[in-house]
Structure 1
């Protein structure tokens, strides 16, 4: 019998893989150029800036991106779509301007903490000008994901990554570290432009900025998602900043650069994992909230997806030396001494992701935030202890321990609450 490729999951995996390969290529080009032109310490400085913008973007989004996806997924009429659209845009722009104001006010303090210098002030100011495009990008992509226009989302991402590859060559070669930072700053503008172009027909006739469509009920619903997503999105980069600073102060900047490089390397393949969860599994969990429906999605995740991830991580372990040389250069081979620990941590993290999405979908805000604080607090606290004892490897021991705890408590929570 001839095999017919009808499984939606594997179709999405195939399409998403193309998108992620382009994003990984974009990251590889950027990282290769940065490692060549800036070295280990340059990457360390760039990652400080990346963590800062990631945290700021998360707050500017208001943490409502998953709420947007869920509400659009459940909405079936134009009036409700209009209310969701207006409410999300107004909320996000209001939050964006508040965040931009505080960053502007405390920009000197931020620069001194991150860079011990004020030479990047113009870039921070430029970042604030581009910050509103985050709202446009989030709302339009949230609409497409909620309505399950998977191909459009993937196409937007692919085009965005191709543009970024071009920008990497132009900006990093000509601008060095500041060029790399500029690439991070202007990316949301291109994604926002492509997203608006993709939804122009679907949302034609909608009054986006008409306050009469602002819905307090939807805004209140977004609040739960806001608390959960801001908590999650903010804690990760903040923990990275704290741990990286601890490594700099207690080991040296080279070790911190190695640690940053491993985080960056991990980010390449975790993009595939997190993007597929957001693109495919989260909307599916949102569509069927009954216990049996939730169990089916979780089972599909572990039966179909986790084995793919496991095989991929094994290949990364076997080929780690060649991967490091391909992505970076000989100066970064010390990565291989700790990379296997990062792979173990990422497998555990993959197993726990689906349970985290369960709490988001069901808006179990208190549980979600409590679990996030437990996991992140353990990671930071154990890192401070283990780095002092085991050196750089201690940070990975701390990461694995915190993720195991998170996996256990979220799995138990899923079993008890999914009834």
Structure 2
């Protein structure tokens, strides 16, 4: 068992490192691109781009039917089995029709949205923006197959290549065409993105068996039902987010509060959340493939919790120590009130590291209805607690709401896992949880009480050394550095 556990730890850290690098490349390219593009588009052009991206993202989320999650799970279950080719072909057909649904929905909405954003309507523009849903869907299918078959290096490399090519192309198009390039850039992102994925997935042998929607309907009914629940979750999540932002704007009588909330969410989800995004690429397909082995699944979940806490704890305390400097550097001093939200909100990241792997189990075993209910609960808690938190405690209350949301959600999902799936925490996991929670609470108290920053730096050092020590025990960092050095 020890060998299995060690291998699991190594695999988790390896995948996190690979996809953490990918996400970092995307963020850096995004920052560079937006700074350069802003020169060519101006404030109004950036606004038009943002509005159009929001519309496309909403339609893609609603019409996507959880395509990536479904493909990853189904491929993980049948990979290297007799029915793998048939399942692959079925999912490919399903991905095509998901894209067509997005295309049709956009064409229906296009006259309103395109006219309002660009003050004119072009059928050609509407067609380009609509057809990109088809290419995006097919690209998602191919990337999901790589993830489901755990070909993570190829998947990561394809994403880096895609990000670099598309960033360079977008800058060139904006330079020559200005605002008019917005539509062409969005189309190129999906069109070229698809062919990049196709190039990296040439070994995927698809049977040329196109199924009409009538023939496909009975076969994909389970996917359709599951996908519909995912889409409802997405719609409800968007609505809850809008309700919170609208409430903040109306109550505070200022759009600035919404800006503070957005930045706080970005720091915790887009930046600190990189750890979770990176880990999920490996964790979800691997967990899906062993759900029938409860003991192995329990060990994998425990290992995932341990590694997640070891990675996020130093980051959390670092932000507690240098949060104001980070906000001034990456935003401006006018965004310093954001740290009031982060004071308690950052603690929610530690709680998420404990509960996040548990939530994946319901997806892995295919219990979509229960997953649907737990996500609705989380969204409901998010709205209720955010409104109450801001009403009573202002910006600090928004951070308290985030922490309480994850805490209550964590209690619920842990209860489900204990009672329905015989899950339990290993002793090593409990030790890691207790240590992490104690240090996170200490950092929160020190930050709130205005203690000298040296105390937080000391706490950061303790957390970092603790993480390095335990990661070294699991993967031998010395040997890893020797391997890396030998390659250069």
TM-score band (shorter)? 0.7 to 0.9
CA positional deviation for 1:299: 0.8
CA positional deviation for 1:157: 1.4
1:162 maps onto 2:160 in alignment: no
Report the counterpart of residue 132 of structure 1 in structure 2. 134
RMSD, aligned α-carbons: 3.7
Report the counterpart of residue 245 of structure 1 in structure 2. 246
Residue 343 of structure 1 is aligned with which of 314, 325, 346?
346
Residue 303 of structure 2 is aligned with which of 300, 304, 311?
300
Report the counterpart of residue 196 of structure 1 in structure 2. 198
For 1:69-88, list aligned pairs within 5 A. 69-77=72-80, 80-88=83-91
Contact preservation (8 Å) 1:277, 1:354 = no
Are the structure 2 counterparts of residues 172 and 249 from structure 1 closer, same or farther at C-alpha, using a change threshold of 3 Å? farther
CA positional deviation for 1:362: 1.1
Contact preservation (8 Å) 1:224, 1:363 = no
Task: Write the distance in 2 (CA, Å) between the matches of 1:211 and 1:347.
Answer: 48
Task: Write the distance in 2 (CA, Å) between the matches of 1:107 and 1:400.
Answer: 39
Gaps of 5+ in 2: 1-5, 423-488
1:222 maps onto 2:240 in alignment: no
CA positional deviation for 1:295: 0.5
Task: Write the distance in 2 (CA, Å) between the matches of 1:265 and 1:43.
Answer: 21
Task: Write the distance in 1 (CA, Å) between the matches of 2:414 and 2:103.
Answer: 38
Contact preservation (8 Å) 2:272, 2:315 = no
Residue 62 of structure 2 is aligned with which of 47, 59, 62?
59
Gaps of 5+ in 1: none
Between the two proteins, the alignment pairs up a number of residues equal to 411
Contact preservation (8 Å) 1:26, 1:164 = no
CA positional deviation for 1:300: 0.6
Report the counterpart of residue 449 of structure 2 in structure 1. none
* Structure 2 SS opposite 1:103: helix
Which structure would you say has the larger RCO, counting Cα contacts within 8 Å and 6 or more residues apart? 1
Report the counterpart of residue 149 of structure 1 in structure 2. 151
Are the structure 2 counterparts of residues 95 and 215 from structure 1 closer, same or farther at C-alpha, using a change threshold of 3 Å? closer
Moved more, 339-348 or 130-139: 339-348
Deviations 1:303-346 (A, max 9, x none): 22222122222223333234334433444344333233442333
Task: Write the distance in 2 (CA, Å) between the matches of 1:43 and 1:325.
Answer: 22
Task: Write the distance in 2 (CA, Å) between the matches of 1:149 and 1:131.
Answer: 25
Deviations 1:319-376 (A, max 9, x none): 3234334433444344333233442333333332211110111121221111111110
Are the structure 2 counterparts of residues 241 and 134 from structure 1 closer, same or farther at C-alpha, using a change threshold of 3 Å? farther
Task: Write the distance in 2 (CA, Å) between the matches of 1:294 and 1:106.
Answer: 44
Task: Write the distance in 2 (CA, Å) between the matches of 1:83 and 1:198.
Answer: 21
Structure with bigger gyration radius = 2
Report the counterpart of residue 23 of structure 2 in structure 1. 20
Task: Write the distance in 2 (CA, Å) between the matches of 1:186 and 1:267.
Answer: 27
Report the counterpart of residue 207 of structure 1 in structure 2. 208
For 1:32-71, list aligned pairs within 5 A. 50-71=53-74
Are the structure 2 counterparts of residues 253 and 175 from structure 1 closer, same or farther at C-alpha, using a change threshold of 3 Å? farther
Question: What TM-score do the two structures reach when normalised by structure 2?
Answer: 0.72
Are the structure 2 counterparts of residues 117 and 46 from structure 1 closer, same or farther at C-alpha, using a change threshold of 3 Å? closer
